[in-house]
Chains A and B, each alone.
Chain A
Amino acid sequence: MASLSFTVFADSSSSGNILKADMLFGPDDNLDPAYKYTGWYLHEAGIYETLFSLDEDMNLVPTLATGYDQVSDTEYRINLRDDVTFHDGTPLDADAVVYSLQRVMDSSNSRHGELDFIASVQAADDKTVVINTKQPHSPTIATLVDPLFSIVKPDVNLNTTPVGTGPFKFESFEKGVSLSVVRNDDYWGEKAKLNGAVLYFVSDSMTRAMQLEGGDVDIARGLPQSEVAGLKENQDLEILSMETMRENLIYVNMNKAPFNDISVRQALSYAINRQEIVDTALEGIGGVPAIGVFTSENPWSANDELVAYEHDPARAKELLESAGITDEDGDGWLDFQGAPFNITIKTYTSRAENKPSAEVVASQLEDIGIKCGVEILDSGALSSVLSDGDYDLALYSWSTGTTGDPDYFFSKHFESTGAEAKKTGYSNANVDEWLAKARATFDDKERAEYYNKVQEQVHKDCPEIYLFYLNELAGANKRVKGYKLYPSSEINLLTPELSIEG
């Protein structure tokens, strides 16, 4: 990648309509959107589009499709827009869509498992694609939101030359440094206001903040919480904050006594003061205290119907006592079956908020008499430790779903066969049944009823304790107009509305 054309960079001083933005992550080397999560970054850059996408309120909207007809429980006919051309001028047709989906289903793709439910993808005619699923599978259309299913031009080398349909065209890429795009003048929708953009990949959050402050970039994503107050005082900058789909949660090891006791798990949830975590570990701005598994911003959230675990140390102690956890030897610390009741919270640090959050939780548990420590592992090691069942509590950070469909997160975390449910040891026959039924139901209202039941049940059972929904903190120079954050901000940045004044 030593060869680079930096014409965009050089032009920026003269034309002034090139946006520069700092990103946290970027493609590794390969630019194929079907390669791991590369599609996310190229979707973010406005190069590729999907058949359907989520708007800023998390509603599913057709993008390259005009809509779909569900012919039967297992057959979907997706109608394509007829005014779309690829960046090289060839029109979008059903064959290109079939190609784009089928290559992900190929067993050589590391994420092909996510499409296991599909039996076949075919072109019915030039503008219609038919998807058949093996079983009734209601998340089918929502799955297509993931930029893994970016619609690509067949027969080009996608590793080095992305050819998509988005508002921006690929210009150049320098590994570990930057990705440059220019406006697509033949875009089917509203044309981009910017002439182009350069996305820089900067892993250090302080550096991003300083680059924004110094005017090196117009937009910086992922600002450190500690710097936000200072940046807000800068008249030239605007700081944006938005609740995202990402949340921090604690896995409880239900395979280990006394955590197999529901009272103990509920007691832990009552002992935690979520507002205090947000106020201290997140400096009051990094997140919103959690109620249930989904943020209230998610249309599938049942938070309105859940009774939040308010901070209630007395209640927590009561519940612990009912589970036989009391101060037996009078040393001021709680004991369980004759031994001190000690808890270790294991977590990892590649997400900056994990360690401080775990420390605050530990001190809150100590307040009700539980000796509690924090142990830091690297994320890979932590995952193994959890699979081996060698933990009490583990603090994690996950996205609850980029596709917007609840099945993605629920089937992994609450269905007995789910990889994460195996780590907590959660298994509930009712939940399994509701999830299976919801997958086979196409009426969104009916599905919502099942998912509400699931949310209520896991809220009661506490296999996982939700701490807070993470805020995305981004900063922009006030010259930037039309910049907004999406709940699924990890896949959206360059949109046609974005512009720079002056």
Chain B
Amino acid sequence: MLSFLLRRLLLLLPVLLLVSIISFFLFYLSPGDPAEVLLTGPQGPPDLKAVEEFRAREGFNDPAPVMYVRWLSKVVRGDLGYSFTSGEKVSDAVFSSFLPTLRLSLISLFISLLISIPMGILSAVRRGSAIDGLGLSLSLLGVSVPNFWLAYLLIILFALRLDILPVAGYGDGGDIEHMILPALTLGISAAAVTGRMMRTSMLEVMEQDYIVAARARGLTERSVVLRHALRNALLPVVTMVGLNFTYLLNGSAVVETVFAWPGIGSLMTRSIYCRDYPVILGCMLFLSLLTISLNLLTDVCYRYCNPRLIHETGS
């Protein structure tokens, strides 16, 4: 287990390096002069002199590899630089917008599990019944409906017609009232995928010999399903939940924009629009690190839950 962990941790470095190279050069190759974009105000195009000054000050006139190395050498020392638009430290900007996303992601994940696990189990146990049909159609709908549309529907229903929740906003530091609708939007789409996974996995397990054996021992159906089948059926779902959580933590730009939620998704969108590349690169690095770590954590969980895996690989 330890050597597995070490190996995976070592892999982090080249992956991060690759991510940084790709994002830096994608940014560099995309058309448009960042200095000009950054200095364009609501009033009109920027002063050409101001653009030149900015380019000189920020070293934009150097070749791309030189810019990259200069940026990287700072990053290695833990300095992600300063935002071109707001002048604040990139690490502060990324961190302060990650917290709202994290809060939202946790609640969304909770909602998605609350919906998907019971739905998956019920669909599998009552396979072919009306409940199964309903579950399948709902999850199909959940996967296919675009997030922003679902968001508007939920707003119209809960905030405008029923008038029990605020339309959007961050409220008092992201209070629960303001969090329900965005979390529900994200939770429903995540639940759709997890629910189907849960059902498939459950169906597979229910056909195993040990389930027949459990039934033969005269256990109640409830105990067969919950104690014997569910535990084993959850394994592939753990991977799916890990993936879902990663996806949620990356911040949904669409949902955050619709609900005016100041998360990392909206920070990224804003920064991309105004070519604030220290912030874009900071976000990319942070999110890659997060994604890799979560994947690792999922793998560790998986091994822990499924000892067979360790025996098979012999480590």
Contacts and interface: CB of A to CB of B under 8 A. Distances in A.
B44 A110 contact: no
Contact of A206 (B40, B172, B258): B258
Given A213-B167, A383-B45, 12 more contacts: A9-B171, A28-B87, A29-B83, A30-B86, A36-B85, A37-B43, A116-B49, A207-B167, A207-B260, A216-B159, A399-B42, A412-B44
A174 B170 contact: yes
Interface stretch (B30-38, B122-130, B227-235, B296-304): B30-38
A352 interface: no
19 contacts: A6-B173, A29-B88, A36-B85, A107-B53, A112-B50, A116-B49, A174-B262, A175-B96, A177-B262, A210-B156, A210-B160, A211-B168, A211-B169, A213-B160, A216-B169, A384-B32, A399-B42, A419-B45, A419-B48
Interface in A1-59: 1-2, 4, 6, 9-10, 25, 28-30, 35-37, 40
A125 interface: no
A175 B163 CA distance: 27
B106 interface: no
A384 B34 CA distance: 10
A67 B43 CA distance: 26
A150 to B, nearest CB: 15
Interface of B is mostly: loop
A224 interface: no
Interface residues on B, range: 35 or more
Nearest to A113: B47
Given A110-B54, A383-B32, A203 B43 contact: no
A320 B152 CA distance: 48
Most buried by B among A4, A107, A176: A176
Interface of B: 30-34, 36-37, 39-50, 53-54, 83, 85-88, 93, 96-97, 99, 152, 155-156, 159-160, 163, 166-173, 257-260, 262, 266-267, 273, 275
A40 B214 CA distance: 72
A93 interface: no
Nearest to A159: B87
B99 A380 contact: no
Contacts of A28: 83, 85-88
A4 B169 CA distance: 15
A175 B171 CA distance: 13
Nearest to B99: A2
B167 A216 contact: yes
Contacts of B34: 380
Contact of B163 (A30, A36, A114, A214): A214
A262 interface: no
B45 A214 contact: no
Interface in A80-127: 107, 110-114, 116
A10 B93 CA distance: 27
A203 B260 contact: yes
Contact of A111 (B30, B45, B47, B273): B47
Given A216-B166, A384-B33, A350 B273 contact: yes
Contacts of B168: 202, 204, 207, 210-211, 216
